[in-house]
Amino acid sequence: MSTLAEPPRVKLAKNLLIFNQVVASKDEASLNAAAQFSPVVDLKALPVELSFFKRYLSSASSASTEPFIPDPKAWQNFPAFEFVVAESSRRETWPFLVSALYIIIFLHFL
């Protein structure tokens, strides 16, 4: 069974069918048969067991065809030094730095 060419929705539907077979098994022989079960899923004609999942499986994929371009101005994409400079220049950062320095000095003299 090759999963390389399968879309994730088909793989999910197959796994749900296999899960249903495992849950329905009553003895070891039926459990072994369920483990070897390899369902064929047609998204246009879903089995009854997946009727609750029809809306998700039949919806169009939301994947983008455009490549992802990271935002160069986002903080997680800054180089380390530029990130420190940008954060230390913010007004909200100084109380944390001063209080950390105060605690370090205070604990040093205890």
- Write the pLDDT tens digit of every residue in 63-93: 667 788 888 888 888 899 988 888 888 888 8
- The pLDDT assigned to 1 comes to 52
Query: Sign of the CA dihedral 27, 31, 17, 37?
Result: negative
* Contact present, 61 and 7 (Cβ < 8 Å): yes
> How far is the C-alpha of 40 from the C-alpha of 32, rounded, in Å?
18
pLDDT < 70 stretches in the chain: 1-4, 60-64
